[in-house]
Amino acid sequence: MSQLHQRSMPRAARAAIHRYGAARYQSIAGEAFESLVTQTSWNDARTSGLDAFDQFYWEHRMSTWHGPAMAERDYYSDAFIPFNYRPLLAAMLGVDLDERRSGAVQLAAIKAVDSDLLQLPINPKKWPVAAPANRHGRA
């Protein structure tokens, strides 16, 4: 985990680690991640079927960018924030990889809430988008 974390750092941070001493840094980082594993019952995730790297991304890396991203959103509804809820992660990450990449899980969740939401022009290829016709056939 500490090596994955280091690879995701900006180039300047990796250069600072090199100046500090890579072996010394790796020793300290390894101890910190061992503490994370111990304090958060990381081993419990192994019985849930989560891949360690998927779990690390969701529980550690995602939380570093998700907070600022949430500050930039419109507050029109309650946010759905799945990280750090292992049963949900295990279920979502248990879906076939091709279906995960295709967005099938997200589409199924949207359809379960309200399939009309799929008609909204999210990231349209052409802008402006013509207004959809209402129930009476008028835009």
Confidence of residue 33 (pLDDT cuts 50, 70, 90): confident
Is pTM, for the whole model, over 0.75?
Answer: no
Whether cis (ω within 30° of 0) applies to the bond prior to 128 is yes
Confidence of residue 80 (pLDDT cuts 50, 70, 90): low
Residue 56 has what pLDDT? 75
CB atoms under 10 Å from CB of 45, counted, come to 21
